A and B are shown apart, each in its own frame.
Chain A
Amino acid sequence: MREFIKNRMAFAALVFILAILTLAALAPFLTRYDPASTDSGSVLTAPSREHIFGTDRLGRDIFSRIAYGARISLAIGFIAVGIASLIGVLIGAIAGYYGGLIDYLLMRFVDIMLCFPVIFLILAVISLLEPSITNIMIIIGATGWMGIARLVRAEVLTLKERDFVSAAKVMGAKDSRIILRHLIPNAIAPVLVSATLGIGGAILMESALSFLGIGVQPPIPSWGNILMDGRSTLGVAWWLTVFPGLFILFTVLSYNILGEALRDILEPRLKE
Chain B
Amino acid sequence: MNMVRCEDLKKHFSGTAGTVKALDGVSLEIGKGSFFGLVGESGCGKTTLGKIILGIIRPDSGRLFLETKKVQVVFQDPYNSLDPKMKIFDILAEGLIIQRSFEKPSFPRKRESKVWMPASAGMTETQNTKYEIEKVLGMVNLPNSALKKYPHQFSGGERQRIAIARAVITRPEFIVLDEPVSSLDVTIQLQVLNLLKDIQKRLDITCLFISHDLKVIKFICDKVAVMLRGRIVETGRAGDIYSSPAHPYTKALLKAAFYDNMKKYG
A170-B85 in contact (CB<8A): no
Question: Within the complex, which residue of B55, B73, B102 is in contact with A167, where a contact is CB–CB below 8 Å?
Answer: B73
Tell me the complex Cα distance, A25–B102, Å.
48
- Tell me if B48 counts as interface (CB < 8 A to partner A): no
| Given A163-B81, A186-B84: A170 touches B98 (CB 8 Å cut-off) | no
| Contact (A166, B94) CB under 8 Å given A171-B72, A186-B83, A186-B85 | no
Residue of A nearest to B71 (CB): A170
> In the complex, what residues of A have CB within 8 A of residue B99's CB?
172
A8 at interface by CB-CB < 8 Å: no
Closest to A188 in B: B85
Interface size on B, residues (CB 8 A): 25
Across the interface, which residues of A come within 8 angstroms of B82, CB to CB?
Answer: 164
- Shortest CB-to-CB span from A69 to chain B, Å, is 38
Q: A162: shortest Cβ distance to chain B, in Å?
A: 5
Is A177 at the interface (CB under 8 A from chain B)? yes
- Encoded as 1 (CB less than 8 Å from any A CB) or 0, chain B from 80 to 100 comes to 111111100000001100110
Provide the residues of chain B in CB contact with A186, threshold 8 Å.
83-85
* A185 and B94 within 8 A (CB): no
Least CB distance, A179 to chain B, in whole angstroms: 13
Name the distance in Å between B101's Cβ and chain A's nearest Cβ: 8
Q: How far is the CB of B118 from chain A (nearest CB, A)?
A: 20
Contact B94 A163 (CB under 8 A): no
**Which residues of B pack against A, CB within 8 Å?**
51, 54-56, 71-73, 75-77, 80-86, 94-95, 98-99, 102, 163, 166, 170
A-B contact pairs, 21 of them (CB 8 A): A162-B80, A163-B75, A163-B77, A164-B82, A164-B83, A164-B84, A166-B73, A167-B75, A169-B56, A170-B72, A171-B94, A171-B95, A173-B94, A173-B98, A181-B86, A182-B86, A185-B83, A185-B85, A186-B83, A186-B84, A186-B85
